[in-house]
Amino acid sequence: MADKFEPGEIISEEEIRLECLRLATEFGPENSRRDPLPVADNYYAWVKQNSKRQSEKTAKKKDKVKS
């Protein structure tokens, strides 16, 4: 099994793609496991779209606990 990624660790594009492929084959629907590349590509597109770095101001607002 692959090692877990540490917070703040920089991972390469290849590692991200391989992790998406692993997730597609391990957790994807049974009929998609025969050809997992389209599912892995969807996962990769989602990761890249949602991995934009937040500004520090936005991140601090989200970290605040409201009382």
Instruction: Tell me the pLDDT of the chain (67 aa) as tens digits.
Output: 456 777 777 888 999 999 999 999 998 888 888 899 999 999 999 988 887 655 555 555 655 655 4
Q: Are 20 and 49 in contact (CB under 8 A)?
A: no
Is the model's pTM score more than 0.95? no
Domain for residue 61, yes or no?
no
In the block, residue with structure tokens 């991972």: 11
Q: How many CA atoms lie within 13 A of 7 on its CB side?
A: 0
Q: What is the pLDDT of residue 1?
A: 46
Integer Cα distance of 43 and 17 in angstroms: 9
Domain for residue 41, yes or no?
yes
The SS3 call for residue 25 is helix
Q: What is the pLDDT of residue 34?
A: 87
Integer Cα distance of 48 and 41 in angstroms: 10
Q: How many domains does the chain have?
A: 1
Q: How many CA atoms lie within 13 A of 63 on its CB side?
A: 7
Q: What is the domain range of residue 31?
A: 11-49
Domain for residue 43, yes or no?
yes
